[in-house]
Amino acid sequence: MSATTNVDPRLDGRAVRRIVYDEAAIAKRVHELGEAITKDYPDGPLLVLGLLKGSFIFVSDLVRQIRRPLQVDFVVASSYGAAMTSSGNVQMVYDPETDLRGKNIILAEDIVDSGRTISVLWDLLSQRGPGSLAICALLHKRRAEHLRHPVRYLGFEAPDEFLVGYGLDHAEDFRHLPYIASLK
């Protein structure tokens, strides 16, 4: 797909501004993140906790690149709804079922934008006695004024554009795209 034309049938006639990260770049970076996590956590209980819905593709690819035993679970929190900007109101929709006590937890996020959601989750998860807690984000906009904890594992810097694809959506559309694009 060209960065300026709309020939991808998955877009159903809707145009994107440009491809920000293509499939090959994403696959390479996710592999590198998996290697880093494997190196940093050689043993002990490891839980990759994905923030749904946006992280589901990222988590799926990431856990297959981590070369050690691990568990996977998910949490659902929302601050967007159908808008293109965060509402600032973080709502927990689904809580992880896995016991978090003593586990090394990698909180996997699709994109760090305002930092509110990830900060609220960090606080909630910290109260459950994990052995350690680290953030792994595919994308970071670097404008997260509410982020109180550093992103330990980062895929890519994100431009200040509304991004879709590879799990990222706009009103539930575009998640299925195998690349990350900016929306017009």
> Which residues are identified as catalytic?
113
Residue 167 CB contacts under 8 Å (≥ 6 apart), including other chains: 53, 54, 55, 56, 57, 58, 110, 138, 175
Whole-angstrom distance, CA of residue 176 vs CA of residue 29:
19
Number of residues that make up the chain: 184
* Closest of 104, 10, 117 to residue 55, by C-alpha: 117
